[in-house]
Structure 1
Amino acid sequence: MWMYLGLLSALFLGLHNLCKKHAVQGNEVFPVLLGTILAGFLLILPFFVGSVYFPEYTKTIGFYIDDVSLATHGFIFIKSIIMAASWVLAYQALKHLPITIVTPIRSAGPFFTFIGAIFIYQEKPTYWQWIGFFLIIFSVMLYSRIGKKEGINFKRNKWIFAIIGATFLGASSGLYDKFLIQNLALTPQTLQFWFCFYTILILLVILSVTWFPYAKKRRAFKWRWSIPAVGVLLQTADYFYFKALQDPEALIMLLSAIKRSQIIIAVVIGGLIFKEKNKRKKLVPLAGILIGVALILYTS
């Protein structure tokens, strides 16, 4: 069951990536990010209110938000810091790079999660799973060669380093999620609510320095329908992902890989919508990534 929940998460993540590309084009990154997180927070807020005033009903429908200890709040705040940094780097990179380059680089995230799962959670990979992960990395290297044809130098372009940093932080957060869900026994909605709350506070601090004081930047900001759509789609994807992690048998390394199937939507549909170059050539490393993911999923 947890694998199917992972696939649902991947579906909503793929749609989320398309909306995110639309939201950041020619726009200020930080207010876009704040708008998306705020939209996700407002989606969950009614469940928090219901948990306070109508706890029995909220428990009945399965969306009760638990009271958590101060120490647990600290652990959730750490996740907010990690993901805020990852999103800032990812949004900046997405603003300056084609989605068909950004998404495959982010597909290397399962490799970092894979290594962490081995050393931290002692998850046992198979021979074929090793091959699958190295195939994903090799395919990402092929994308770097295609990217040079679009004027993107993978050694000198700072946005490439930004998306690599975002990928590493995102993978670290994925490993941390297993600790939060399984070790601290947090429900998905509890983790999502407080995570959004603290992330909004972090972003408000950043914006108070980089955006709010500057009238020119505020006027340049363009509100788009895709901004709240990003937040709603992300929270939906995270809910299914966290529900999958609640299963004691769920392997974080496999869940991370399953989520990479979102690249089908991002590369194929995104390439058509945003009219990006070399779409046919990008299908070759895309196939390599998909085969790598398949090896991970179907061999154990």
Structure 2
Amino acid sequence: MTPTVRLALHSTGEVGRRAGRILLAEADLAALGIYGRRSPATEDRRTTAITALTGFSVLATDDATAPLDLAGIAVADGLSCVIGADVEPPPVLAARFAAAGLSLLVAASLPGLAEAFACYEAPGSPPGEVLLAWTRQGKPGRGRRGRLAVPFPDPVGARWGTRLPPRPGEASTTIRAETILPGPWGAALARVTTPQGRRATARLVATADDSRHLEAIALAAGALLAARGGAPPGASRPGAAASAYLHTCFALGLAAAGLGGRGTPGSGSNRR
């Protein structure tokens, strides 16, 4: 295979550094440009410290402070952009990407994984209730108002999640919940309830591991998906290309409990 993928990576922390190491294991990666501060963790003959994006096809970033500013730079320079942060791109920015035939993939992280799980489980069919849940590192609060039980797999285990507002245009049957956890573990989960006559069938798909490891896989998979032409033009989230996105995640080492076939080890553990 002749390497053809040329990616630019803007890393602000451990997730970005891990994503860089994951990307360097790909046979079709021709070059990885480190946009901004260069990290020793991504040193390789294919890495180059860059100050301009010319010659690259995708800019990926774990920036949580101003990711949409980076997206604006990317589209101005003719690149697609993959953002780990769960943000809502303004319509003007999304239109710029669409008009240029470029992709702006956001939420390439635990929320996006949960969405992709749900879309993968119910392709093309209207489900009943859908629970999307994920973790975020931090100090959990004490109150339980607005919370619901989330059955994350081990090593996270069942936790209380805080119900979040729906996204614009989202079905009223979709429930989003976030669990704040101290420590290193993270998880993403989708539970899809499908009506079948008078009864309903619930299917659950989930993953749990070191949160930085999961986030790095999610970001790297988004970058590869966009570079290989699998992400649609304009603004989108991982669920828009759920099958291709998840299969890329599986190829990078993601394991998910509840999925049939590849990527199902029988537990929620992921280790490359």
Q: Same fold (TM over 0.5)?
A: no
TM-score normalised by length of structure 2: 0.30
Instruction: Pick the structure with greater CA Rg.
Output: 1
Whose RCO is larger (CA < 8 A, sep 6+)?
1
Name whichever structure is richer in helix by fraction: 1
